[in-house]
Structure 1
Amino acid sequence: MLELDEIDVGYGAVQVIWDVSLDVAEGETVALLGANGAGKTTVLKTICGPLTPMDGDVRFRGESIGGLQQDEVVPEGIAHVPEGREIFHDSSVEENLTLGAYANRDGMAERRREVYDIFPRLEERTGQRAGTLSGGEQQMLAIGRGLMSDPDLLLLDEASLGLAPVLVDDVFDAIERINDEGTTVLIVEQDVHNALRVADRGYVLESGRVSLSGSAEELAEDERVAASYLGG
């Protein structure tokens, strides 16, 4: 479904990604792991539009999307849930979800029902201002808003950041369910334990380069991953 082919990416003249290649097959959950500053968010921004590769290509279902902007990528079937949530704080939960469907309004009520099934807390707060939700509820809303475009591929950036442990479990359980129900997921995450719990495969990014890749089981058992990210 998604292919990154030896992409180089930078901010202006400052290069931060070198020769990164990865792929995501339809129906998979793939984790992109690494320490803060490794370049994970930059990779997502290159897929979904704010950044354009300096070299290499990004392909979605075989078609190059490396030069598309974010508003052009969403109709292709890609939704991005950014780090920091970026919800509309003064709008209600329901209004936030409605805004998520701006590019695909057909079946909006049914998709909202599906989001509420995954995140019952949001239904309980449907008329509440988003800015008054807890951090975990805001993360659920950000993911739900991404699902409202009915994406084929969901990009999740640090879904667990800043959440209490019990809410982290809830969010990763929801990611697992979203994938089970047919949405392909690429997740960027520092919580390596939970990411590998829900992922089929993973890549480790270090200083802008892929240093390791393999199945979730292989990465969880790799001494380098254990020493660097799992406390082993």
Structure 2
Amino acid sequence: MNYLRPDWKNSESYKFNPKTLSYRGYAWEFLRRNPKFQEEGTRALASGSGREREQVASKFGLRDLVSYCDEYVPGKPELVWLAEALCEPPVVHRRGKANPIQTYQLGQVALIFDLDATVTSGPAAIDAYLWDARRTLMEERNRYISTLSSSDERVVRAKSPSIRKAKLFTWLRTYDAIECMGASQKEAAKILYPEDFVPEPFTKKTKELAAQKRVSDDRRRAMSLVDNEYLSLVPLDYLQDKSKR
């Protein structure tokens, strides 16, 4: 397997548009940099064991295991997060028609969670499940509201994502710079925050120390996302169109 690592110094070397990449896409970018995922995923894919692939995929919050070398493609069937794999209620087939085992009244919705698939993924996978369930329920609510009279309609309010995409790209480049390429915090700061190294016109001072502190914070956030918090990004996509960040 070959993975051509982008040049962190050049934002153009990344094979995606940082402004349009979805939160799911960023989640994949952080996960594919996880050394444990690289090692275990490569071994499982080479083993030919379907059970081992399934276990590794579940451990890292994926429905199916894919190589860390694969680029993120929106809608690609192989790259689906566990949070996007909510189960449909069971049905029985009678006279060519699919009927739910339990009958629901108008306005009632049932979701089934496969907790076995999230055991090894940790709490972040559960959070992703719940957020995706919220998105599904919102969609069902909107469909239900459309059947009501206009006097019964209420406005659906949603908050903006708490993580700005601009920061995600900076955190990603910081991880590539320090953890992958061995750059120092000062070297990373000069590239990522060049304006802080320009002397002020009167004092001739720079904000070099502040920039290095910012890079230190960026590195900490990036490492946390690579380790396991990448799953917290998955549910934010349903807010993306409403967010101006």
TM-score where L is the length of structure 2: 0.25
User: Which is richer in strand?
Assistant: 1
Bigger Rg, structure 1 or 2? 2
